[in-house]
């Protein structure tokens, strides 16, 4: 059902069972999949794809041009995967040619009120962003990560899967998978033990990750020395390999 006060461009593709609330505006070249519910006063600008069964609450603004001095008006996109919840006053900006041209939100994400996702970000599946969490451009967030309220992440930084960023945290560098980071400037506080247990990680996986974490971050080795020692002393299960490969591939440097 589309409310009679909503404005929907004739070039938008809206599935027959989509609900659009009062005074919402849907631009051209927008695709909205089956079962999606859009509240009142939502603005969705051109070149946005919203997959089925999403919920978008009042006053969200999706698809505005990026806040980037390099943006010259080129066509760029947003893709929001199925079953994602977008709460009040969330803002999501389109990509830039420089950054790949697309901002992507994975399946089953939960974006709480006033969160902001800037241009060219790539958000994994089942990511939670609490109120007023802010992503600058070109950020990658891994699956199942949680970003605490009033936190801010620097452009080009990465947050690994299953990581937890505490509230009121500024994140200038990469945060590895499976860890907890918090503080006025992010510092590592150990493994995200509660999150790993909730997601069904085995006792062995948690134990081996704890060994790797201690070697890399707690005994004063150089990164090269630490990685070599992890390979020699820690069982190379997939979680440990993922942990060390993320750290080795960091270009911004890793939060410690």
Closest CA to 63 of 13, 28, 99, 11: 28
Q: Which of 106, 116, 120, 149 is catalytic?
A: 120
Tokens at residue 202, please? 């085995």
**Of 95, 99, 137, 195, catalytic:** 137
> Does 137 participate in catalysis according to the annotation?
yes
Residue 205 to residue 48: CA distance in whole angstroms: 39
Cβ partners under 8 Å of residue 160, min gap 6: 142, 145, 174, 175, 176, 177, 178, 179, 242, 243, 246
How would you classify residue 144: left for phi > 0, otherwise alpha for psi between -120 and 50, otherwise beta?
A: left
- DSSP 8-state class, residue 42: -
Task: Please report which helix (H) or strand (E) contains residue 196, including its range.
Answer: helix 193-198
144 catalytic? Reply is no
Q: Which of 41, 116, 119, 144 is catalytic?
A: 119
Q: Which of 115, 172, 188, 179 is nearest to 142 (CA)?
A: 179
Q: Which residues are known to be catalytic?
A: 119-120, 137
């Amino acid at each position: 059902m589309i409310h009679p006060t909503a404005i929907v461009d004739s070039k938008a593709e809206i599935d027959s069972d989509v609900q659009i609330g009062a005074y919402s505006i849907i631009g051209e070249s927008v695709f909205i999949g089956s079962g999606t519910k859009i509240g009142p006063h939502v603005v969705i600008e051109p070149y946005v794809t919203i997959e089925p069964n999403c919920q978008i609450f009042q006053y969200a603004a999706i698809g505005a041009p990026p806040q980037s001095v390099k943006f010259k008006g080129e066509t760029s996109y947003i893709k929001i995967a199925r079953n994602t919840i977008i709460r009040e006053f969330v803002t999501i900006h389109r990509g830039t040619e420089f950054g790949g041209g697309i901002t992507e939100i994975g399946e089953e994400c939960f974006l709480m009120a006033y969160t902001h996702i800037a241009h060219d970000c790539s958000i994994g599946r089942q990511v939670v962003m609490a109120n007023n969490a802010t992503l600058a451009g070109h950020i990658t967030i891994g699956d199942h990560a949680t970003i605490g309220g009033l936190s801010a992440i620097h452009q080009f930084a990465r947050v690994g899967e299953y990581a937890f960023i505490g509230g009121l945290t500024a994140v200038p560098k990469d945060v590895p998978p499976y860890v907890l980071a918090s503080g006025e400037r992010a510092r590592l506080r150990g493994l995200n033990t509660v999150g790993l247990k909730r997601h069904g990680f085995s006792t062995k996986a948690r134990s081996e990750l704890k060994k790797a974490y201690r070697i890399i971050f707690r005994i004063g080795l150089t990164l090269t020395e630490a990685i070599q020692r992890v390979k020699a002393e820690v069982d190379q299960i997939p979680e440990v390999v993922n942990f060390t490969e993320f750290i080795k591939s960091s270009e911004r440097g890793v939060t410690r």
